[in-house]
Amino acid sequence: MKTLFIDCSMGAAGDMLMGALYELLTPPQQEDFLETMNHLLSKNISVTATPCEKCGIYGTKMNVSIYGKMEETSLSETSSHNFHGAHTSYSDILAQIDSLAVSSWVKQHTKEVYTLIGNAESYVHHTDIAQIHFHEVGTLDAVMDVVGCCILLERLAPEQILASPVHVGSGTVSCAHGVLPVPAPATAEILQGIPIYSGTITGELCTPTGAALLKHFVRQFLPMPPMTVQKTGYGMGTKDFTTANCLRIFFGDMDILPVPSKRQLPHISPSSAIKAPTDSESHPDFYTEGFHNLDQILELSCNLDDMTPEAISYTMDVLLEAGALDVFTTPVHMKKNRSGLLLTCLCNMEQESIFSRLILEHTTTRGIRIHPCYRRILDASFEKVSTPFGTITIKVSTGYGIHKFKPEYDDVAKAAREHNTTFQEVWNAAKDAYLK
């Protein structure tokens, strides 16, 4: 499974994330990326990638120049009612993002990341997001960082993004509002639900832009799990500390997936997702549209050869009633050539202890095998159609350019009994009604 792991031991900022992701591209891809970035808005904005060394570590420092000025990416807050100079509103920012010559996938994710920043700022200032006025230079700098990261993620096409707990720094930071504690209020608001720590370094290590990018894209925050690393990227920060001020990203493969967090993952609907770069426009790419459609589950299993069919049937009912995703049995031959059954229960990762206990309690097994696995799933919805036999529910499955449906069994069976007709006749009537 194509995986990005972000090492946030020196925090995260938009330019650092962009620099690390940039290093994961090939040289021709890097040139194309810079060409794209430098033609997005106007000649007044330029993006450069400069080799940089911090404490003997070499990486890339991404510089965004707005009207010939380099914005301090470590500034804690991009909004203020006290900044001198031009300001822009939240709706203006969204309109500006929509005008960019990038894919709908990049636009949508950029807007969602910036909404996290806007919501945090409005909460801190006790006002509505529509009332927040962003400093123009700081806003364009942050937008370019977010757009750049989204373009790079689109091109790298990882199937999942993981990160370490975030080092936020300590002490205070100066901004337009005065001297604020680290992490600054807006950053702290964005980082809610994410594991963070302060450490011994004095200074701001995580910015609102970096925090918003992490919160939006990272599936889980955990120590680095086992993975086969193919490439490593280093994005360098602006300031110098006793520890190398860089963000490191590992790009490689993972066979076994970690337990996911319970945070709601971002989702882009099939209609707005970018299509695959193939000859046929009718098949969306699994790496782009399916960016967050991979579902992680557990498979719990055990062998049984000393239970009655009635007892096994009851156990299956108990597991399903408790919310198991699926429960089934498979005939197997066990030791001493005894015939038996393999009981398999599929469940969500965070429910493992519940279902393991139920299996141990209601079966004769002394042990359970636990296999992490993942699946691609279609989005499900339900519609009702009118037929000569009454109202029938239709289950509709969509995603990846696929659309299929089928009448719900219980409704069809009930209608067939009530109207003294065949199951197939009701089934066909429901299908015809849906197609019409």
Q: Does residue 86 share a domain with residue 227?
A: yes
What distance in Å separates the CA atoms of residue 322 and residue 16, rounded to the nearest whole number? Answer: 45
- Of 360, 376, 392, which one is at a domain's C-terminal end? 376
Tell me whether residue 416 is in a domain: yes
Tell me whether residue 312 is in a domain: yes
pLDDT at 83: 34
pLDDT at 79: 40
Using DSSP's 3-state secondary structure scheme, residue 14 falls into helix
Q: Does residue 411 share a domain with residue 321?
A: no
The helix or strand, by DSSP H or E, that contains position 54, with its residue range, turns out to be strand 45-54
Tell me whether residue 278 is in a domain: no
Tell me whether residue 268 is in a domain: no
Q: Does residue 198 share a domain with residue 99?
A: yes
What distance in Å separates the CA atoms of residue 48 and residue 63, rounded to the nearest whole number? Answer: 5
Tell me whether residue 150 is in a domain: yes
Q: Which domain holds residue 402?
A: 379-435
Residues 168, 183 contacting (CB under 8 angstroms): yes
Q: Does residue 134 share a domain with residue 14?
A: yes
Q: Does residue 431 share a domain with residue 344?
A: no
Q: Which residues partner with 166 through β-bridges?
A: 196
Residues 250, 220 contacting (CB under 8 angstroms): no
Q: Which of 263, 272, 230 is nearest to 249 (CA)?
A: 230
Query: Which is higher by pLDDT, 140 or 181?
Result: 181
- Of 376, 395, 415, which one is at a domain's C-terminal end? 376
pLDDT at 105: 94
For residue range 305-357, list pLDDT tens digits in order: 999 999 999 999 999 999 999 999 999 998 888 899 999 999 988 788 899 99
Q: Does residue 160 share a domain with residue 110?
A: yes
Q: Does residue 62 share a domain with residue 165?
A: yes
Average pLDDT rounded to a whole number, residues 187-213: 92
- What DSSP string describes 260-272? PPSSPPP---TTT
Count of structural domains, the chain: 3
For residue range 361-377, list pLDDT tens digits in order: 999 999 999 988 877 78
Kindly tell me if the per-residue pLDDT of 273 is higher than 50.
no
Confidence (pTM)? 0.61
pLDDT at 299: 93
Tell me whether residue 331 is in a domain: yes
Average pLDDT rounded to a whole number, residues 287-311: 76
Q: Does residue 427 share a domain with residue 369?
A: no
For residue range 215-239, list pLDDT tens digits in order: 999 988 888 888 899 999 999 998 9
Average pLDDT rounded to a whole number, residues 377-383: 89
